[in-house]
Amino acid sequence: MKTEYKTTTIITLGILIFTVSIPAFCYQDKVEGLWEGLFMKQFRMEIHLMETEDMKLSGKIRMYDGSTMIQDDEINNIEYDNRMISFMIPAKETTFDGQFNDDLTVLNGDFVFPDGSRHPVHVARKELDNLSKDSSPAISSKILTTKFSRTQLQNDLIFLREHLSDIHPKYHLYTTEEAYDALYETIEKNLGSGLNIGEYYNLISPVIAKTGCSHTGVRLPEKYIRAQHKYNHYFPVKVFVKDKNAWILGSVNGKKYIIPGSEIVSINHVPMENIIVRLLSMIPAEGYNKTTKYFEINRDFGSYFNLLNNSEQFQIEYREPANTEIHTINIEAVSYESYSSGTESNIHQFPEIHPLNLKLSTAIIQIKSFALPDVNNYLQLMDSIFREINSKEINSLVIDLRGNQGGHPIFAAILYSFLTSANFTYFQPVEEVPEFQPLYKPMEPAENNFEGNCYVLVDGGCLSTTGHLISLLKYHDRAIFIGEEPGSWFYCNDNSRQFLLPNTHIEVNIPRTTFKTDVKGYNMGDLFNVDYPLTKSVKACIAGQDAWMEFTLHLISSPNTSF
């Protein structure tokens, strides 16, 4: 039963996505063209380099979150000399310093943010295009079916294994060398006489997941992804997965194929349990954590399933709610455009909570990312939020971190400074990353710090520096945690390098450094135990109900109630 709450003050910190822009370069070395790679593991970045009529350099940077462009900025102050390049991104007050390799196919460097922190960039040259025209290269379906020889795939596998084992700081933390040997041997046996990029990706992604590191990953080439989106066929049904079961939430195109809440038994004669187990094996997560894997599957089931099944029609066996009889239906696949437009509102996007009155004296802050563009604006915003909270004498604060996959640690450290009354240190020192020096030293609490009760909502989407924040809150006994095990907590690996496998050009992200918060008594691989463990339900997902927030507000209003 839904509980009515008569009084709540709500302060929401909206979605802020950090993006950066970049320049274009050329001159005698003819470096004009399109350069592409991943930034912060999550965002696809394009650097467009162009030569103007007066033989000067111009350019812009574009950033994409999935297929959505989230940045399109000019660059200036471009200086290029003997493979060295630097430039300014005025819109972000960010500079770049980098160097091309000898054959001008790869550019490595660092963005320098306004706070002085440095962030690695690795981009590779793509096919030259007429960049003076705002057009995308033609997308051919041939890339989806082109097969690479067994020798080419073996060479890519050797490259992958050598770089993982040489670079990753915790390569053997969760998987022994003997276990890796068996995994690579299995891949070798399944290479046959050759595979296409998608087939090879499906083979190697489980070995990446075995590192037990959410920052270690492989990504299909962008050209391949664009071809998938144009030519592939997508599952038309919204799905909720829990444990090894899956239920229907609805359809992506508004058609009423199956009663919502029905359980899927199989798809195209493959048991649903087998499909889920296969997908779980391909998704990286910290240590033995599984909530991140389910978070990812539920966030975008259709795209993950498309890696395994590109059928034009799907035969679904299912059971309707409270019914053991198995039904069968055949459903036509949909295009990616239909799939993506129909899945914008997924189960991890929660309904807005409206303030009711001021008697309950509770504030809610929702922070969806710490990948933010401006530390000074953020500091001012947090100061104004907590000044308002304290002026209204609010004594209970709910911080919603669900789905926050991290970002720059300074933003999490600033938030923690408003939640403590004592000096604290954020990170244990890491010599090879001096730019985080301020986080290795004691920091003072903020002037308008909050000293009331703090409740934090967490789930498998809480990664990277969000986990670091969670660990400090837990270690200093500063919060009550509600939800499911977060995706990470007191440590994670990053300071990553990006590589392209030589033949397939599959992108690989490999961290080089382990960052730990300044806490003691925790062991890598330990589970994080929330104070009030909750699970997602099919019924709440169908209804669009944020049951976890309702539970939290009820807990605050009736702390002695048994659940």
> Of 316-330, 379-393, 473-487, where does mean pLDDT reach its minimum?
379-393
Is the model's pLDDT at 350 over the cut of 60?
A: no
Residue 518: how many CB atoms within 10 A of its CB?
18
The residue with tokens 């991890």 is 348
Taking each helix axis as running N to C, give the angle between helix 272-282 and helix 301-308, from 0 to 180 degrees, rounded to the nearest 10. 100
Burial (CB < 10 A; 0-12, 13-18, 19+), residue 510, is buried
Collapsing DSSP to helix, strand or coil, 82 comes out as: coil
Q: Please give the C-alpha separations between residue 223 and each of 136, 198, 338, in angstroms, as whole numbers.
A: 10, 12, 20
Q: pTM (2 decimals)? A: 0.79
**Residue-wise DSSP of 462-475:** --THHHHHHHHHHH
Tell me which residue of 506, 511, 470 sits closest to 494, measured CA to CA.
511
Q: What is the pLDDT of residue 132?
A: 31
Tell me which residue of 102, 113, 137, 90 sits closest to 39, measured CA to CA.
113
Tell me which residue of 428, 475, 423 sits closest to 449, measured CA to CA.
423
Residue 149 vs residue 356, higher pLDDT: 149
pLDDT in tens, 109-133: 988 887 777 888 888 887 533 333 3
Tell me which residue of 449, 450, 488 sits closest to 471, measured CA to CA.
488
Maximal C-alpha separation, the chain: 75
489 close to 431: Cβ distance less than 8 angstroms: no
**Residue-wise DSSP of 288-328:** T--HHHHHHHHHSHHHHHHHH---SEEEEEEE-TT---EEE
Residue 358 vs residue 420, higher pLDDT: 420
* For residues 136-161, average pLDDT: 90
**Mean predicted lDDT score pLDDT of the chain:** 86
**CA–CA distance, 343 with 337 (Å, rounded to integer):** 10
Domains in the chain (CATH in brackets) are 27-125 (2.40.128.20), 362-557 (3.90.226.10)
pLDDT in tens, 237-290: 999 999 999 999 999 988 899 999 999 999 999 999 999 999 999 999 999 999
**CA–CA distance, 493 with 515 (Å, rounded to integer):** 6
> Of 56-70, 486-500, 545-559, where does mean pLDDT reach its minimum?
56-70
Which residues partner with 237 through β-bridges? 251
**CA–CA distance, 11 with 14 (Å, rounded to integer):** 10
Q: What is the pLDDT of residue 435?
A: 85
- Confidence band, pLDDT 50/70/90 cuts, at residue 360: low
Tell me which residue of 397, 386, 350 sits closest to 553, measured CA to CA.
397
pLDDT in tens, 52-109: 656 677 888 988 765 556 677 888 888 888 888 999 888 777 889 998 888 788 898 9
Which residues partner with 424 through β-bridges? 443
For the chain, the residue count is: 563
As a whole-number percent, the residues of the chain with pLDDT over 90 amount to 63
Q: What is the pLDDT of residue 42?
A: 67
> Of 83-97, 391-405, 436-450, 475-489, where does mean pLDDT reach its minimum?
83-97
pLDDT in tens, 39-55: 876 677 888 887 665 66
**CA–CA distance, 197 with 203 (Å, rounded to integer):** 10
21 close to 87: Cβ distance less than 8 angstroms: no
**CA–CA distance, 385 with 398 (Å, rounded to integer):** 13
Burial (CB < 10 A; 0-12, 13-18, 19+), residue 204, is buried
Paired tokens of 375: 């530390």
